[in-house]
């Protein structure tokens, strides 16, 4: 059950949440669906003794990743459903707003693959947006993720019943999201490189009308409710 909006603290940097839940020094980390790997890059600044492998399937984003290397950060073009890495290779796995992007029929397989590449006792940090709030009300006009976000949580619940995992932590919070203007929102949310939301003129006008009441002098500020679940791979996992 998710806490009400008023009960969620405002968190500007999710790395603080991760660091509170998991000691990060010296870890071997894999991030599935890493996108631009912003949190991984920040983590490596704080903990240069860590090593992070980012998995990404979006070819355009991956080209940007490879063009911006960083010490301790490696990229592989792969999805969570099939990780081309050896068993027990990592101490920590990250899925940051990515589990709900895995095809629903493959979510269980993705969690199995993550378990395979984690050592016994390793952690899986899953951060997912909650289907709630004013930003969600605007976004669902062109990209309604209610079904896939619920499926992601259900997949975690199912994984916990397999005997592979135990849940050892959970957090709910709000993250600030700012857009310079509607054009910024359109570029970032409506026309991402990894999806085609089939935006026509009528849909663009509908979304603009929903967005504009939240803008002041052009800028719009929202908060995105988030839910984190921290799972640990059992030492006696099958």
Q: What is the pLDDT of residues 23-32, one digit of tens each?
A: 999 999 999 9
Please report the domains of the chain, with CATH numbers, ordered by start residue: 5-131+144-176+225-233 (3.40.50.150)
83 and 111 Cβ atoms separated by less than 8 Å: no
**pLDDT computed for residue 238 by the predictor:** 66
**For the segment 136-163, what is each residue's pLDDT rounded down to a tens digit?**
999 999 999 999 999 999 999 999 999 9
Residue 93 scores a pLDDT above 70: yes
How far, CA to CA in Å, does 45 sit from each of 51, 92, 156? 11, 17, 30
CA neighbor of 46 nearest in space, from 79, 12, 30, 70: 70
């Amino acid at each position: 059950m998710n806490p009400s909006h008023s009960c969620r603290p405002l968190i500007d940097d999710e790395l603080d949440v991760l660091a509170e839940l998991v000691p990060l020094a010296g870890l071997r980390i894999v991030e599935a669906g890493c996108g631009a790997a912003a949190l991984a890059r920040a983590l490596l600044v704080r903990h240069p003794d860590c090593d992070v492998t980012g998995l990404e399937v979006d070819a355009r984003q991956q080209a940007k990743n490879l063009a911006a290397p960083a010490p301790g950060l490696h990229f592989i073009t792969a999805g969570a459903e099939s990780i081309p890495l050896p068993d027990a290779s990592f101490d920590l796995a990250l899925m940051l707003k990515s589990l709900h992007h895995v095809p629903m029929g493959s979510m269980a397989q993705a969690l199995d693959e993550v378990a395979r590449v984690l050592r016994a006792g390793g952690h899986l940090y899953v951060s997912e947006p909650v289907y709630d709030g004013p930003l969600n009300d605007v976004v669902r006009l062109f990209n309604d993720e209610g079904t896939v976000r619920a499926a992601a949580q259900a997949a975690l619940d199912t994984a916990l019943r397999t005997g592979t995992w135990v849940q050892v932590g959970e957090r709910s919070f709000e993250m600030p999201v700012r857009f310079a203007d509607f054009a910024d929102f359109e570029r970032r949310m409506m026309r991402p490189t990894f999806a085609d939301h089939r935006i026509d003129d009528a849909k663009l006008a509908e979304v603009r009308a929903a967005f504009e009441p939240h803008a002041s002098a052009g800028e719009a500020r929202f908060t995105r409710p988030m839910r984190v679940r921290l799972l640990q791979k059992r030492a006696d996992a099958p």
